[in-house]
Amino acid sequence: MIMSNVLEGLRYSEDHEWVKVEDGVALVGISDYAQHELGDITYADLPEEEDEAVAGEEFGALESVKASSELLSPVSGKIVACNAELEDAPEKINEDPYGTWIIKVEMSDPAELDALMDAEAYKAFIQE
């Protein structure tokens, strides 16, 4: 079993995305577990700024040497920023999955965060 780093203070989806909220804006990335499962990430397919993110629906994809994986938004709202660094350096996600956000979403329904797991619940989820 891969021992994955799970950060306290973030919310996690069953699709292995994490959310960190700063001033009502959700930063979204993928967990350490997800980047381990993917392997070396070689390409990030990002949405356009101003696109709408819908909780549970695809907003982009990551490709690695092993697989392609769609990214599902853990929250709904307007995408206000995409991490342009990932276009040239998608491996940043492997190097620092919690320090590398993929999109920022101006949440339309912050109550959606309640449906996400805290760190303890996510640790239990990935050990199943």
The pLDDT mean for the chain works out to 95
Contacts of 26 (CB under 8 A, 6+ apart): 19, 20, 74, 75, 77, 104, 105, 107, 113
pLDDT at 4: 76
2: pLDDT strictly greater than 70: no
55-75: average pLDDT = 96
Where are the alpha helices (H) located in the chain, listed in sequence order?
A: 32-38, 85-88, 92-95, 119-127
- Domains belonging to the chain, first-starting first, are 27-109 (2.40.50.100)
DSSP 95: H
pLDDT at 1: 42
State the Cα–Cα distance between residues 4 and 2, nearest whole angstrom. Answer: 6
Query: Is the distance from CB of 86 to CB of 97 less than 8 angstroms?
Result: no
Helix (H, G, I), strand (E, B) or coil at 123: helix
pLDDT for 3 equals 58
pTM: predicted TM-score of the whole model, two decimal places: 0.95
